[in-house]
Structure 1
Amino acid sequence: MATPQATLPTPTEVFEDEHKESFGSDEVVAAHIVVKEGAVVAGGNIDYARLEAEYKWKAWSWNAIRLYICLVIPYCCSMANGFDGSIMSTINTMSQYLGYFGLHEVGASTSIVFSIYNVGNMVGAPFSGIATEKLGRRGGMFLYAFFVWIGIGLIVGAKTQAMFIGGRFVLGFGIAFATCAAPTYATEITPPTWRGRLAGLYNTFYQVGSVVVTGIMVSSTNFTSSWAFRLPLLLQLIPACIVGLFVFMPFIKESPRWLMAHGREEEALKIIIDFHADGDPNHPIVELEMREIRASLAEEDMLKQEWWDWSCLWKNTEFRWRSWMMVIMSFFGQWSGNGLGYFTPVLYENVGITDQNRRVVLSFIGTFISWFGAVSGAATTDWFGRRGRLIWGTLVLCITLALITLLTGLYGSTGVHNIAGSNAAIAFINLFSGFFSFAYTPLQSLYCAECLHYTQRAKGMAMHGFLGNVALFVNTYGIPIALANIGYKTYLMYVGWTALEVVVWYFFAVETRGFTIEELDEIFKSPNPIRASMRRVKLKVNRGHLEKVDGETDTPSAA
């Protein structure tokens, strides 16, 4: 495939040429405008604003369907993680599981079983970054599948607590490769104007896994044998097999940015033409993305480093700010009260729900609400942006946690029989899950991958996985002990912490909506990345022409 002619003008040059005398001139008609007359489009710069006006991705074309098929692979990686979270929170209420391994619902032994998964993930994180960079995004996802096959074999066949714990360590080690390679792949292969929706859907499949496996466990909990918990654990092989068997098939394409970085420009160009321009090699988006990727990789050539060198995460002010966004999301994405979700059945017990079957059913309803919130959040990511959602979403979580604490304190004590009060507490527990999934789930991986420079992305996403699991380790080891000792008052810690998160997001969150991945280089290099990210260039369609509206504007600080 021949590359587009080097003489093609950039979208910025086309715009400036069309409007060299005055904005809104009636003499030149923009050739590719697809939005309606009078519409106003906005972007972080003229290039992206023109894309909004001249680029309409055909969501149901054959090339789009081919892209969706590619995205099934990273989505399955996310689903596997959701399987584990829901399986463990639900089998932790099963007498068959607790009796077989001599465990209790809360306490130190349960903390070890839960947290060893996160330890495995932390150990695997450094290897996942190296593998994702050297073997490609697809290679990293294959390694996830390989280690999960081993881990599930150990867990399902476990006869002792030690074997079960060992299997969970291997399983966590394998998941580290998925959480590094999969969101990176989804972010890099999707079209810029649909990046928020398609890459944001990656993390929503955590909830898909939760819904599927929790629904199955509503039935398996009635088994009298150990298959009550072994069958759901075995189901984790399904997404791993899909990934392992199909990830290297010819129709599953590699990330174009990884291909460009490894000298395979023609392959990368073909993928961008097919998946981003629906087969049109002359569409402005092709030239724009190729130009920006080349410029970003040219900068990377000046920053070449050995595989063992992780200084790309902190070597200059720009990269430190990018990494800081990743660090904040790594911890806040796990410490915003969602860690209590691992122990939702125990929360139900705190408000007087003690029947095992009813608690499992309520957990299933909760996972469905979480899934709905996550999908709704992903579908609107390109409309609401990232900064405002994180600020206002975290504030809502703080208020909801405070209400859960109040209701549980009033109606969750032994001897208190207030059905309405207990139902209100249960309702807010489920609402919290939905709110969290709407605000955070689509962004947990997407925001980190967007903020990190290509030079940082593989190692940065590995570090994201490592830090996220440090946070999860605190959750899964600390929460059972806290619940066993102070009960519902554990929620108060999260109320205070989420209040702090609101302040941190307000003062540090950088908006990434309205830019291609490479255009964010300019934002993070600016003296004030927050203010730079809020600036918008607005264009209006007036009688078939594009005219600039009100110059450059800054959107409200929390939007």
Structure 2
Amino acid sequence: MSHGAPANSSSGITLPPLQAGAHQRRLDLIAVIATFGGLLFGYDTGVINGALEPMKAELGLTSVTEGLVTATLLVGAAVGALIGGRVNDTIGRKKALTIVAVIFFVGTIGCVFAPGLTVLLPARFVLGFAVGAASVTVPVYLAELAPTERRGALSGRNELAIVVGQMLAFIINAIIANLWGHHDGVWRYMLAVCAIPAVILFVGMLRMPESPRWLISQGRYAEALEVLLQVRNEDRARAEIAEVEQLAQEEALAQSGGWADLATPWIRRLVITGCGIAAAQQLTGINSIMYYGTELLREAGFSSNAAIIANIANGVLAVVGTALCLFFVIDRVPRRKLILFGFCATTTIHLLITVAATILPAGLTRAYVILFLSVTFVFFMQTCLNAPVWVALSEMFPLRLRGFGMGISVLCMWLTNAALTFLFPVIVGIFGLQGIFGLFVVVGLIALTFLWKMLPNTSGRSLEQLEESFMAGDFR
């Protein structure tokens, strides 16, 4: 059975339509294994939401050290994103993900057995390094294995894995707290769960293929064709290999691939755009809700027990929104249009939360209104922004610069995340919910202006076509 019309190629090579068969199932299996990196990303960033209270009690954390414990992982993620992008360009996407699995395991063990902050903070940094490296490697690996027709949905599965990981963290935290909450060190049990998917990722990646596009960038054409034949029908695989070979030869002449390339105007524009969209995604405040959701709902007016239960709604709506995006939206709506609509929606909801927090008196009515708006924000964020932004980042950079470009962009993302995570409780403490969400409104308007001018549409064309268009100065 055929999957769509032949894909056009600006290089003059016509790509035959995809055919159903064992190769499609092989591609889906690769995606499942690789996205355990996203699951680890989600669990490790979400688990702190429930682990922080018992951790504070056992280790005697102050407000400053509490912020350090939370933000240290994000600083590690920023470093991991920068170094991870270069590493997966150097040794390949498969080897990089295998190493990332080991780092996840080591960081988890360090956190679980940490006697105090002197061990916990470095272990959190190591865990964050793995999160950051996974955040730049998994989307690129999936984008380079995916055919043009399925690239959005396949690459976006990493975002689905992230929000599933966060939801599982919220649920597992609640279960562990109810079963063993009276035990000393219950937060260690919560963190220990992360070791299981780390082992699965390591074992699974040993049997997965390397990215065919990375192999071509290393001149290993026969191996690249062998991989493509695993995940495409034969005529499509041979057509794709010819297209990527042609572009790789052009890139070899251009000597692209590092900091020096920022002197090239079209590359510099892509890197600026990548950094801008990555930072803007974080400045919506989505991760502040995922890290401090329980505390935010207490501030809104819920009791402590009710806030823990209500916070699960954020995790559930994140999964529902991401699934809707991947299965019904991302490959049907142009990436640029979807992202701009997403920023319009989230900025509007921020404005409504600001108004509600300002005019409604304290009580359950205020609490439920803010809960409803909060989960609505999470839903639109996941449907229109999170997966599309990650997919767009994995698509927009040229082949030899893809790891580098992703690394720089995701570095900006994690640094923005770390700064906002550290400042969020401080701003809420001083200015209340209306202060922090009013700030999100202002930032959302700035982001919309920037992206309207700078963001290209990356859907509907092969990675090679996109590169040729950008090189020619066409950023439509």
TM over 0.5: yes
Aligned to 2:94: 138
Aligned to 1:100: 58
- The residue identity in structure 2 corresponding to 1:389 is L
Change (3 A) 1:47 1:518: closer
Unaligned runs of 5+ in 2: none
Q: Does 1:335 align with 2:297?
A: no
1:419-458: CA deviation from partner (whole Å, max 9, x where unpaired): 3332121111111111101112212322111000011011
Q: Is the 8 A contact 1:48 1:515 kept in 2?
A: no
- For residues 16-55 of structure 1, the aligned pairs below 5 Å read 55=17
Aligned to 2:409: 464
Q: Is the 8 A contact 2:14 2:239 kept in 1?
A: no
Q: Is the 8 A contact 1:121 1:174 kept in 2?
A: yes
Q: Does 1:228 align with 2:190?
A: no
- For residues 286-325 of structure 1, the aligned pairs below 5 Å read 286-304=237-255, 309-312=258-261, 314-325=262-273
> 2 CA distance for matches of 1:408 and 1:497?
18
Structural RMSD (CA): 2.3
Change (3 A) 1:143 1:444: farther
Aligned to 2:42: 82
> 1 CA distance for matches of 2:248 and 2:94?
20
Aligned to 1:63: 23
- The residue identity in structure 1 corresponding to 2:81 is A
Q: How much has 1:347 moved relative to structure 2?
A: 1.4
Aligned to 2:374: 429
Q: Is the 8 A contact 2:7 2:17 kept in 1?
A: no
TM-score (norm 2): 0.93
1:206-235: CA deviation from partner (whole Å, max 9, x where unpaired): 111011121111121221123431112111
Q: Does 1:352 align with 2:352?
A: no
- The residue identity in structure 2 corresponding to 1:354 is S
Identify the match of residue 498 of structure 1 among 429, 434, 444. 444
> 1 CA distance for matches of 2:454 and 2:183?
52
> 1 CA distance for matches of 2:55 and 2:3?
58
1:182-210: CA deviation from partner (whole Å, max 9, x where unpaired): 11101100111000000111112111101
Q: Is the 8 A contact 1:179 1:462 kept in 2?
A: no
> 1 CA distance for matches of 2:86 and 2:473?
31
Q: Is the 8 A contact 2:105 2:195 kept in 1?
A: yes
Unaligned runs of 5+ in 1: 1-31, 36-40, 531-559
Identify the match of residue 132 of structure 2 among 151, 167, 176. 176
1:501-542: CA deviation from partner (whole Å, max 9, x where unpaired): 122221111111110000112221233412xxxxxxxxxxxx
Aligned length: 471
> 2 CA distance for matches of 1:170 and 1:196?
30
Q: Is the 8 A contact 2:18 2:232 kept in 1?
A: no
Aligned to 1:14: none
1:363-406: CA deviation from partner (whole Å, max 9, x where unpaired): 11210111110111122211012100111110000011111122
- The residue identity in structure 2 corresponding to 1:520 is L
Q: Does 1:200 align with 2:162?
A: no
Q: Is the 8 A contact 2:50 2:174 kept in 1?
A: no
1:133-189: CA deviation from partner (whole Å, max 9, x where unpaired): 221101111121121222111110122123221210111122232122211101100
Q: Does 1:154 align with 2:110?
A: yes
> 2 CA distance for matches of 1:304 and 1:235?
44
> 2 CA distance for matches of 1:33 and 1:202?
26
Structure number with bigger Rg: 1
Q: Does 1:241 align with 2:199?
A: yes
TM-score (norm 1): 0.80
Structure with more helix by fraction: 2
1:33-76: CA deviation from partner (whole Å, max 9, x where unpaired): 876xxxxx79886889976xx62453xx3221211121123211
Q: Does 1:383 align with 2:332?
A: yes
> 2 CA distance for matches of 1:47 and 1:327?
29
> 1 CA distance for matches of 2:416 and 2:247?
32
Change (3 A) 1:407 1:57: farther
- For residues 406-445 of structure 1, the aligned pairs below 5 Å read 406-411=355-360, 416-417=362-363, 419-445=364-390
> 2 CA distance for matches of 1:504 and 1:491?
20
> 2 CA distance for matches of 1:77 and 1:503?
33
- Identity, in percent, stands at 20
- The residue identity in structure 2 corresponding to 1:374 is T
- The residue identity in structure 2 corresponding to 1:77 is G
Is the partner of 2:457 in helix, strand or coil? coil
Is the partner of 1:64 in helix, strand or coil? helix
> 2 CA distance for matches of 1:367 and 1:517?
32
- The residue identity in structure 2 corresponding to 1:188 is E
Aligned to 2:51: 91
